[in-house]
Amino acid sequence: MIALEFPPINEILRWKDLFESFNKISIIAVLAATIGTVVFLLAGRQSAQTAPRGVRNIAESTVEFIENGVVMQTMGRDGLGWTPFLLSLFTFIYLCNVPGIIPFLQMPATARMALPAALALMVWVVYNGAGIKHQGFGGYFKSVLFPPGVPKALYILVTPIEFISAIIVRPFSLAVRLFANMLAGHILLVTFALLTESLFQAKDKILIPFGVLPMGMLIFLTGFEVLVAFLQAYIFTILTAVYIGGAVHPEH
């Protein structure tokens, strides 16, 4: 028999508090914010007259990616003013996702619902606030609840659906998508790591060679989680850009 004991779910998802309300997730979130800030501050201090290198090269590549891969694809040239916000959002989420594969940390901060929910709530406030600013309170909610081109008789069905979609479902889906994907990946890594350890330490020596199988899967999933960390940050950011663009320019 293989003695495989899966740890309690709370041990997988959090460390003991260092002090009240400050635990593993808090550490990773603070590190993500600090690292992102330092990288762009250092990049900004390098001369723009020389060829970009080091942190400046990383920073410029990230800015170009957000401008060309997110803003221009969803909001057009008029949305370039939103680049700093979207850049900050993408960088922070990515740096919160990556620790899931870093030894010792081994936990994406976004695998706890509080952080994705807070980010989704912030996005909700931003895109609704942008819509109200550009269209006025009445004009914004009229465009949301009574989309043009719909026969008036259908508004009795369309309006409640649009309200639920724009006001409730969007932030909820943003948070759950990020949280669920990162949590699932984290649990898979923990599962295959425990299985690998149990097989390699099995008392029955015939089982030891079989430890190579879950170890191979663990290596594959670790590489896959690198991609997932990037994709989830990108999806969250591009959906945010879509929501802001739709609020500011409802005709689009």
CA 186 vs CA 86, 101, 183, 212, 222: distances in Å: 26, 9, 5, 20, 9
Q: Which portions of the chain are predicted below pLDDT 50? A: 1, 252
pLDDT of residue 237: 97
pLDDT of residue 32: 94
Three-state DSSP at 69 gives: helix
* Partners of 19 in the β-ladder: 22
Spatial separation of the C-alpha atoms in residues 63 and 87, rounded to whole Å: 7
% helix, strand, coil for the chain, step of 5: 80, 0, 20
pLDDT of residue 36: 93
CA angle 128, 132, 137 (to 5 degrees): 120
pLDDT of residue 95: 96
Residue linked to tokens 């400050």: 22
pLDDT of residue 158: 87
Cβ atoms of residues 210 and 198 within 8 Å = no
Residue linked to tokens 């740890």: 7
pLDDT of residue 214: 85
- Listed in sequence order, the residues at least 6 apart from 229 whose beta carbon sits closer than 8 Å to its beta carbon are 94, 97, 98, 100, 101, 108, 182
